[in-house]
Amino acid sequence: QVQLQESGPGLVKASETLSLTCTVSGGSISSGSFYWSWIRQPAGKGLEWIGRIYTSGSTNYNPSLKSRVTISVEASKNQFSLNLTSVTAADTAVYFCARDHCRGSSTTCYSHYWGQGMLVAVSS
């Protein structure tokens, strides 16, 4: 059974960089044809897709965050990471990592396995 677990600082200062890691167990991050995604959810609000990385290393980002986001894979550690620069209070949210399964094309996917989520607060 594939499992994902987010980790990183739970508190980040405004204007600094938020860095989170998602550790994958129960399967290799390099095998298969999967996308690895980050999604976030401010308290009491809806889901916001941040971006994803494919097994090959290609990425897609939410245009509203693109200038500040980098997603990367560290295959040797079976992890993928999220870096979000110049954070503000608006970036305070629960951050989820997920493995996406795709059928036929890169736009017919769904997030099948999710991490439990990690709350990251931005302090002023």
Partner 1 sequence: QSVLTQPPSASGTPGQSVTISCSGSNSNIGRKTVNWYHQLPGTAPKVVIYSNNQRPSGVPDRFSGSKSGTSASLAISGLQSEDEGDYYCAGWDDSLNCWVFGGGTKLTVL
What is the number of other CB atoms lying within 10 angstroms of the CB of residue 110?
9
Q: Which is nearer to partner 1, 16 or 68 (CB)?
A: 68
Side chain identity, residue 114 = W
| Pairing status of strand 118-123 against strand 11-13 | parallel
Taking only Cα atoms into account, the Rg of the chain, rounded to an integer number of angstroms, comes to 14
Look-up: residue for tokens 């209070």?
89
Note whether 96 binds partner 1 by CB under 8 A.
Answer: yes
Q: Which is nearer to partner 1, 14 or 47 (CB)?
A: 47
**Contact region for partner 1 (CB under 8 A) — 8-16, 25-33, 41-49, 70-78?**
41-49
Binding-site ranges for partner 1 (CB under 8 A) = 37, 46-49, 51-52, 60-63, 96, 98, 103, 107-112, 114-117
